[in-house]
Amino acid sequence: MYLFVFTALLVLFQYVNSKRIFEDIDKKLKTSESQLKKYKDSVAVLRNDILEVSHFNLDRNEDAISYFEDEGYKIDELMPFIKDELYKLNEVKGEHPLVPYAASEGRKMLINTVKMLNHKWIIADFSDGEYWGEIFLTYEITDKKQLKFNLVEYFLYPFD
Instruction: Give the pLDDT score at 160.
Output: 67
Q: What percent of the chain has pLDDT over 70?
A: 99
Using CA atoms, how far apart are residues 142 and 23, in angstroms rounded to an integer? 72
Tell me the average pLDDT of the chain.
Answer: 91
Kindly report, residue by residue over 127-149, the tens digit of the pLDDT. Answer: 998 899 999 999 998 888 789 99
* Angle in degrees, 0-180, between the axes of helices 75-88 and 62-70, rounded to the nearest 10: 90
What's the Rg (C-alpha) of the chain?
31
Kindly report, residue by residue over 17-54, the tens digit of the pLDDT. Answer: 999 999 999 999 999 999 999 999 999 999 999 888 87
Sheet (strand 147-156) strand order: 110-116, 121-127, 132-141, 147-156
Contact between residue 143 and residue 122 where contact means Cβ atoms under 8 Å apart: no
User: Is residue 112's pLDDT more than 80?
Assistant: yes
Q: What percent of the chain has pLDDT over 90?
A: 65
Question: DSSP string of 1-42?
Answer: -HHHHHHHHHHHHHHHHHHHHHHHHHHHHHHHHHHHHHHHHH
List the Cα angle 65/98/92 in 5-degree steps. Answer: 105
